[in-house]
């Protein structure tokens, strides 16, 4: 399977703990996106990477959130001091910069539950 | 800022019927892309169909077609000969034509149920 993968698929944590999620995009894709999806809503954009550079960050990405994409390959999203309001599905997507560059391919998501 | 509105939280039709999902959007951009994504239960989101705003011709992909009305800022999805596997959440999404840096803006989705 050469699609976008995310790990873990599910994470349960206690309020105040730190969590880290990983996304492995499709190998030739330069663009990588993180979204957050809460129950009954569409995904909301969090941040965008082109290669290793983080070029856009949404206002939703508070100071407790940090994302990296070292070497322009996989990406990590860390949430520090988790709150119950952070409970959501975190989706990663990737796309190429040429060809159908505006089509985003989504991973299965990481479902976070903060108790 | 862009907004995307899907006014039908849920729709249910019989297998083989045709169904139309509505989407309106608001933007001051003149160049952009519109998408319909499908999210089956417990499965990942996949692209159904896309439309470039500069193209007047409506996009079609097999049983799926759109009615793109740029002046009205309307982008509806028609599914013909619906199948049980079409049961899913459907999201309408907007993206500026700015190299993809802004990400997608999604609507709240329509839960489509195909009844046997």
Is residue A23 over pLDDT 90? yes
pLDDT tens sequence across B34-69: 999 999 988 899 999 999 999 889 999 999 999 999
Residue in A closest to B111 by C-alpha: A40
CB contact under 8 A, B91 and A108: no
- CB of B1 less than 8 A from some CB of A: no
Is residue A1 over pLDDT 60? no
Fill in the DSSP letter of residue B88.
Answer: E
Task: Give the least confident one: A102-106, B8-12, B74-78.
Answer: A102-106
CB contact under 8 A, B101 and A56: yes
pLDDT of B102: 75
Confidence of residue A61 (pLDDT cuts 50, 70, 90): confident
pLDDT tens sequence across B60-93: 999 999 999 999 999 999 999 999 999 999 999 9
d(CA A46, CA A42): 13
On chain A, the residues whose CB falls within 8 A of the CB of B100 are 31, 48, 95, 97, 101-102, 104
pLDDT of B4: 97
Is residue B105 over pLDDT 90? yes
CA distance A99 to chain B (A): 12
d(CA B14, CA B96): 36
- CB of B101 less than 8 A from some CB of A: yes
Burial of A14 (0-12, 13-18, 19+ CB in 10 A): exposed
pLDDT of B42: 81
CB contact under 8 A, A106 and B46: yes
CA distance A39 to chain B (A): 10
Q: Which residues pair with A7 in a beta bridge?
A: A22
CB contact under 8 A, B106 and A109: no
pLDDT of B99: 65
Interface A:B, Cβ pairs < 8 A: 65
- CB of B111 less than 8 A from some CB of A: no
pLDDT of A22: 98
What does the pLDDT average to over A97-102?
A: 71
CB contact under 8 A, A102 and B47: no
pLDDT of A99: 67
> Rounded to 5 degrees, what angle do the CA atoms B46, B114, A39 make?
55
Is residue A101 over pLDDT 70? no
Is residue A62 over pLDDT 60? yes
Partner residue facing A109 (CB), from B44, B91, B104: B44
CB contact under 8 A, B109 and A42: yes
* Neighbouring residues of B76: CB distance < 8 A, sequence distance ≥ 6: B20, B21, B22, B23, B66, B67
Interior/surface letters A30-51, b for 16+ CB within 10 angstroms, e for the rest: bbbbbbbbeeeebbbbbbbbbe
Burial of B88 (0-12, 13-18, 19+ CB in 10 A): buried
Strands A110-114 vs A10-13: parallel, antiparallel or unpaired: parallel
Is residue A77 over pLDDT 90? yes
């Amino acid at each position: 399977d050469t699609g976008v993968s995310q790990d873990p698929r599910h994470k349960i944590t206690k309020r105040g703990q730190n969590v880290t999620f990983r996304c492995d995009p499709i190998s030739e894709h330069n663009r990588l996106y993180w979204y957050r999806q809460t129950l009954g809503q569409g995904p909301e954009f969090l941040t965008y990477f082109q290669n290793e550079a983080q070029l856009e960050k949404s206002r939703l990405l508070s100071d407790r959130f940090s994302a990296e994409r070292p070497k322009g390959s996989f990406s990590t999203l860390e949430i520090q001091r988790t709150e119950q309001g952070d409970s959501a599905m975190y989706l990663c997507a990737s796309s190429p910069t040429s060809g159908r560059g505006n089509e985003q391919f989504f991973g299965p998501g990481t479902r976070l539950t903060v108790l | 800022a862009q907004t995307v509105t899907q006014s039908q939280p849920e729709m249910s039709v019989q297998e083989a019927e045709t169904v139309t999902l509505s989407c309106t959007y608001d933007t001051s951009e003149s160049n952009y892309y519109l998408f319909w994504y499908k999210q089956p239960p417990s499965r990942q989101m996949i692209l159904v169909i896309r439309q470039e705003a500069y193209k007047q011709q409506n996009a079609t992909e097999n049983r799926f077609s759109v009615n793109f009305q740029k002046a009205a800022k309307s982008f509806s999805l028609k599914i013909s000969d619906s199948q049980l596997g079409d049961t899913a959440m459907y999201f309408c999404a907007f993206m500026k034509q700015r190299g993809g840096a802004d990400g997608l803006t999604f609507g709240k989705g329509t839960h489509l149920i195909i009844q046997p």
